[in-house]
Chain A
Amino acid sequence: MQCLRTPLSDLSVLERQRTRAEWQQQGQEQSDYHPYDADFCMQNLLPVETSFRALHSCSGGGANENHGNVHGSNDCFSNAWPDIVSSMHCPVVGAAASVEETSVNASSSSSSRKRKSENTRRSKENSGGSDGKDDSNCKRIKEETGGGAAPPEAKRPNKRKEESADASKENDKAPKSDYIHVRARRGQATDSHSLAERVRRERISQRMKYLQDLVPGCSKITGKAGMLDEIINYVQSLQRQVEFLSMKLAAVNPMMDINIDSFFGGREINPTCKSGIIPMIGMSSELLDQSYLQFGSLQHDMFMDSLDLLLRPNVNPPAAVSDTSLGSCLNVNGSSVWNTNLQNVYGVEFQLGRGTALPFQSLQGNLLPNNLKMEM
């Protein structure tokens, strides 16, 4: 069995993170312009589908940015859904705003005007790829504006940025007053409860779709129960893989061991860190220190410190890692430049001899070179 052939989802993790970083940046830019982020409620209706458009459209763009964004996008892990939600990819929002414009006259006129201007501005900034599918959703969105979305939105004001908290407070009034006109679908109830229900169900199905894309092999399955089964199986299999790999790592090198205290003690928990890589680096550093490299103790400390530096978001990681082979890494012997060592370790882990500038892409199972097949 080849360890490197396991298929991951088609959208690479890096691409997702990168787009999330972009969304977050976009969201922050635009929030500077318009403190009243009233659109998130409508964007909530279709965050996921637009996110896929954005992903597909962004995937072609500049692989060069990827490595630069590896750590810039670390904060995506902490802000995944708010990023998606606050992203302004949807010209649907523009369409909804136009609907509102015609229907709303009352005290909310100022807010709707703001919404509209926000929408039009954002829709201009949308990536072109997101236009296609969203038009088909426009009609759906037109019928469900922020009114129904308000009560569920109020549940998560603390996840939004501050400016959107205003929106949630404002929208809380929506079900009680009718200043947001909501058009119901034909033949369906129009009271706020069922609308809220419908919005909630829509959102749940969006999440399910996103999960469907995450989990390989799930797209053929229809029906909630089946998909949930697949998702559950996949999560279990991932957890088992972690266990198995930790066993394997312990077996591969009998001397590899981890000082657990070092993880709990000194390092602060940095919410923007890339999860999972740090202990790997920590482990590899211990390993290398003990058996292969002639690290002096001082250099080892510097090495560990450099790991901390690496974890800080404002530090640019060694983005352009030159091709370092495993041999050169292991042959480093009291090198004067500990930074190079760090790059070697970090780079080798992710490049694995490819010498590319896409550290994370090399993590994808099917992209790793053949000479690193793991015989099991």
Chain B
Amino acid sequence: MANQDLHAPFSPERGHASLVERSRRIKMAAEMGLARSSRHWSRALRRRLLLLRRGTASDGCGCQSEALTSSKEGGDLGVGANEEEAVEVEARVRALQRLVPGGEELGTERLFEETADYIEALQVQVSAMRALACLLDESREKRG
């Protein structure tokens, strides 16, 4: 059993690249976990991950056609008191669309639904990862 690595001093230079690489893989694993549900954002995430996996980096960032954005919006989030408010809200909705995977194609209402589900999934994911990190930390301390 090679436990000594756990106690070895952390060598930043050489270890850093592999750390980044491994963390990237871990993150991808986490995202794969997120991508398993059948929600719209989850399917979009799956598509993106598969694209990344196959090395096609072109659409990797999820830059779907933004032309679809305005189609379902209609700009009527509400009969806002001001035009400026509506514009502000619009800008934020677009920002949210970029954040939520697959959000660019969604209308406002669907976008909010997907956002809610996405947030919940992220919360669970973060909890799980945090728990795992604590677990590993404690186990490492115990052995150390």
Contact = CB atoms under 8 A, between A and B. Distances in A.
Interface in A235-259: 235-236, 238-239, 241-243, 245-258
A276 B121 contact: yes
A349 B132 contact: yes
Given A215-B119, A225-B89, A235-B122, A243 B27 contact: yes
Given A204-B108, A236-B99, A260-B28, A278 B33 contact: yes
Contacts of A33: none
A335 interface: no
Given A235-B122, A260-B53, A292 B139 contact: yes
B83 interface: no
Nearest to A364: B127
B57 interface: no
28 contacts: A8-B123, A77-B38, A77-B120, A156-B110, A201-B79, A215-B119, A224-B92, A229-B92, A232-B92, A232-B99, A238-B119, A243-B27, A250-B26, A254-B5, A254-B6, A254-B18, A255-B2, A264-B50, A275-B121, A276-B121, A276-B125, A283-B26, A283-B29, A330-B142, A348-B135, A349-B131, A365-B127, A373-B134
A246 B23 contact: yes
Contacts of A16: 120
A279 B132 CA distance: 11
Nearest to B108: A204
A372 B134 contact: yes
Nearest to B49: A264
Interface of B: 1-3, 5-6, 8, 10, 15, 18-20, 22-39, 42, 46, 50, 53, 76-80, 85, 88-89, 92-93, 95-96, 99-100, 108-110, 112-113, 115-140, 142
Nearest to A362: B131
Interface residues of A, number: 90
B4 to A, nearest CB: 11
Contacts of B78: 201, 204-205, 224
A252 B122 contact: no
Nearest to A229: B92
Contacts of B131: 280, 349-350, 352, 362-363, 368
B45 to A, nearest CB: 10
Given A274-B124, A276-B30, A283-B26, A210 B116 contact: yes
Given A245-B130, A279-B29, A364-B127, A269 B46 contact: yes
Nearest to A375: B137
Given A284-B135, A352-B131, A242 B112 contact: no
Given A235-B99, A275-B125, A251 B132 contact: no
Interface in A359-376: 362-365, 368, 371-375
A248 B131 CA distance: 12
A213 to B, nearest CB: 9
B112 A211 contact: yes
Interface of A: 3-4, 6, 8-9, 13, 16, 77-78, 80-81, 152, 156, 197, 200-201, 203-205, 207-208, 210-211, 214-215, 224-225, 228-229, 231-232, 234-236, 238-239, 241-243, 245-258, 260, 263-264, 269-271, 273-280, 282-284, 287, 291-292, 326-327, 330, 348-350, 352, 362-365, 368, 371-375
B111 to A, nearest CB: 9
B132 A284 contact: yes
B19 to A, nearest CB: 5
B112 to A, nearest CB: 4
Nearest to B95: A232
Contact of A231 (B110, B115, B122, B140): B115
A349 B124 CA distance: 13
Contact of B140 (A78, A81, A252, A280): A252
Given A242-B129, A255-B2, A292-B139, A270 B22 contact: no
Given A214-B119, A254-B19, 13 more contacts: A201-B77, A214-B120, A232-B99, A241-B126, A248-B133, A250-B23, A253-B140, A269-B46, A275-B36, A275-B37, A275-B121, A349-B131, A374-B130
Nearest to A205: B78
A286 to B, nearest CB: 10
Contacts of A207: 109, 112-113, 116
Contacts of B93: 228
